[in-house]
Amino acid sequence: MPARLPRLTDRLELGVGLKVSPVCLGMVSDPRTVAAAFEAGINFFFVTADMHWPLYAPLREGLRQLFRRKGVRDRVVVCATAYVTQPDFCEMPFEELVDDLPGLERLEVLTMGGVYANDFSPRLPVFEDHRTRGFAGCRAIGASFHDRRIARSAIVNGLVDLAFVRFNSGHPGARHDLFPGLPKRRPRLFNFKSTDGWVDPSRLAQLGLAKDAWHPSITDHYRYAFSQPALDGALVSVSTPSEVRALADALAEGPLDPQSQGWLEQLSHAHLSTP
């Protein structure tokens, strides 16, 4: 268990000369959240280039507003993902994203979205070429893995610079079959879907829990994820500026002890297995 959790102002080396915050901001509901995140220390932003395009509209608007500030673009790292799997179509989504968003200009990190074992190998050479020739400003490549077996292979063999994997208290399998035994020198490993195991307070009575039982806040689930030493960072979806502050405050509380982590898993399992 780490001695402390990352701060939003911490920086991780990534790819060729990039330094990114351990929190990467994805979907938001309020464009003002982007500026609030940047001012709190987050410099790493995740945006789709194709699938879920409407859901990322507030984030794109927030980035558009942020990039109007003089000198800000050079202090920001943008990670763009494309879910298209055909190698011939792995350029156009990124070009369209750059054209659509004034001030964006380039994409420092290009990511394969929704990766499974059968589509990783055909897509990888295309993204390696993106990095080699600096396509769209690319200085690192990554993959959002939906298959932990291929994720482990890619990480152990250093095939990408950045790997995203799903991990939360309701989906903790990576703690057993991915995190153990990873090499010290390896690609950066980020989590996504940290809060999927959260249980709404209205469910507590239905689950038969005592009234005085500890009910974790939604930000405790970020603490749960960051308490795993194998994880370097997390892709988060905090909707409003106040949620950025809440996340920073939660991380300052430090790691969750093993007993608390186990309780989150029990609570999530009860929630997910009870109608």
pLDDT in tens, 56-88: 999 999 999 999 999 999 999 999 999 999 999
Q: Is residue 207 part of a domain?
A: yes
State residue 217's pLDDT score: 93
State residue 226's pLDDT score: 97
Residue 200 banded pLDDT, cuts 50, 70, 90:
confident
Token reading at 196: 């999927």
Whole-number Å distance between alpha carbons of 150 and 117: 6
- Average pLDDT estimate for 231-255: 97
Q: Is residue 5 part of a domain?
A: no
pTM equals 0.95
Instruction: Provide the number of structural domains found in the chain.
Output: 1
**Mean pLDDT (the chain, rounded):** 95
State residue 187's pLDDT score: 97
Between the alpha carbon of residue 113 and those of residues 11, 145, 164, 170, the distances in Å are 24, 7, 9, 22
Q: Is residue 58 part of a domain?
A: yes
Q: Is residue 181's pLDDT more than 90?
A: yes
Share of the chain above pLDDT 90, in %: 89
State residue 240's pLDDT score: 96
Q: Is residue 7 part of a domain?
A: no
Token reading at 15: 């790819």
Whole-number Å distance between alpha carbons of 216 and 235: 20
Q: What CATH number has the domain bearing residue 191? A: 3.20.20.100
State residue 274's pLDDT score: 80
Give the residue numbers spanning the domain of 234: 12-273
The distance from CA 52 to its chain's CA centroid, rounded to whole angstroms, is 15
